[in-house]
């Protein structure tokens, strides 16, 4: 009897709150929560159920009340006057701006991913080229040693091939210089003291160097000297500006059309005096060296073979490069 009364009370409560069948509202459409609680207590007191129900019956009555409260909250939320995010109207200009920003963001992301993939591929190519150059240098050095030993074994002399590359450095200023030597120094791009350039050995260049010999020191650099100069003091001429060679992208942008994409390609082209030596040499800004460690010789303006520093010193130029680099 008590359970039946409880269930009837909950049903009466739902009908009093939401209407017959629980699908329609009362005359005021929305009942306050305290009205529901008051109705529940009134039903319980009128039938004297609260003191007679067992614990299980009271729990079922509480569940019925909880369901009624939940339905009430759902109805309130369904008929709220606060607009949702989907119902808020956004200005057309803001929508266009968002769309353009999203498009630009997507394009930037795609460009970054493409650049990463391209750089990864280029690094692989650069590493392979560097390995090939190292093998080439080692093979050439071993061949020289082999030829030297073979000549010694046959009681003859090994005469190496004539040098194809010179490094010229200016060690004297512009005082009391004739127009012709001045012009030659300008053609060689030796405009200041301690400026240095790589030059391909030809008959014309040899005659020009003889004319300006009182102002320069020159010789035949080895691979180590070339690498140290380019890596430490290498600058490129880009739009008539002196730009440091800090990235392979700079080299590829200016010399990529000649197949030179990295600094190792640059070193190899200079050392081997390759077919694109002229373009590479013109791209390199004249090296700005320091005064040699410990200073020049006492008789600086005498020829090298006379105890000075001027003129051709052949392989001894590498020692001067170490001192001035």
76: confidence class by pLDDT, cuts 50, 70, 90: low
* Percentage of residues of the chain with pLDDT beyond 90: 43
pLDDT of residue 43: 52
User: In 3D, which of 30, 26, 28, 62 has the Cα closest to residue 44?
Assistant: 62
Q: Residue 14: what pLDDT? A: 45
Least confident of 45-54, 74-83, 169-178, 195-204: 45-54
Question: Among 34-43, 89-98, 196-205, where is mean pLDDT lowest?
Answer: 34-43
118-147, pLDDT tens digit by residue?
888 888 888 888 899 999 999 999 998 999
Lowest mean pLDDT among 33-37, 89-93, 95-99, 246-250: 33-37
Q: What is the pLDDT of residue 38?
A: 56
31 Cα distance to chain centroid: 66
| Tally of CA atoms within 13 A in the half-sphere of 4 that contains its CB | 1
Given this model, what pLDDT does residue 57 score? 64
What is the predicted pLDDT for the residue at 118? 82
* Residue 1, pLDDT score: 43
Q: What is the pLDDT of residue 288?
A: 94
Q: What pLDDT score does 69 carry? A: 79
pLDDT in tens, 38-52: 555 565 555 554 455
Question: CA-CA distances (angstroms) from residue 229 to 28, 137, 221, 316?
Answer: 93, 18, 10, 16
Which one, of 244, 230, 267, lies nearest residue 126 by Cα? 267
What's the whole-number mean pLDDT along residues 54-74?
A: 73
Q: Who contacts 280 (Cβ-Cβ below 8 Å, separation ≥6)?
A: 255, 258, 260, 266, 269, 270, 274
Give the pLDDT band (50/70/90) at residue 299. Answer: confident
């Amino acid at each position: 009897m008590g359970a039946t009364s409880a269930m009837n009370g909950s049903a009466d409560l739902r009908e009093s709150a939401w209407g017959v069948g629980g699908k329609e509202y009362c005359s005021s459409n929305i009942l306050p929560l305290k009205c529901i609680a008051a109705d529940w207590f009134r039903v319980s007191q009128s039938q004297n159920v609260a003191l007679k129900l067992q614990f299980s019956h009271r729990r079922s009555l509480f569940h019925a009340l909880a369901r009624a409260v939940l339905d009430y909250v759902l109805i309130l939320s369904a008929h709220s006057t606060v607009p949702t995010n989907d119902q808020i109207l956004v200005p057309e200009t803001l929508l266009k701006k968002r769309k353009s920003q999203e498009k630009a963001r997507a394009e930037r992301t795609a460009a970054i991913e493409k650049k990463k993939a391209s750089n990864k591929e280029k690094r692989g190519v650069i590493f392979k080229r560097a390995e090939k150059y190292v093998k080439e240098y080692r093979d050439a050095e071993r061949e020289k040693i082999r030829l030297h030993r073979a000549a010694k074994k046959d009681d003859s002399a090994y005469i190496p091939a004539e040098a194809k590359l010179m490094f010229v450095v200016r060690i004297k200023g512009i005082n009391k210089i004739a127009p012709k030597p001045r012009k030659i120094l300008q053609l060689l791009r030796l405009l200041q003291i301690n400026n240095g350039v790589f030059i391909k050995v030809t008959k014309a260049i040899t005659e020009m160097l003889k004319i300006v010999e009182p102002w320069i020191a020159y010789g035949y650099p080895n691979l180590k000297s070339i690498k140290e100069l380019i890596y430490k003091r290498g600058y490129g001429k880009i739009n008539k500006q002196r730009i440091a060679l800090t990235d392979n992208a700079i080299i590829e942008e200016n010399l990529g059309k000649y197949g030179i994409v990295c600094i190792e390609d640059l070193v190899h082209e200079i050392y081997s005096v390759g077919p694109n030596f002229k373009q590479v040499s013109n791209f390199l800004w004249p090296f700005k060296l320091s005064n040699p460690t410990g200073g020049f010789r006492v008789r600086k303006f005498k020829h090298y073979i006379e105890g000075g520093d001027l003129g051709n010193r052949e392989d001894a130029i590498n020692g001067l490069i170490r001192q001035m680099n």
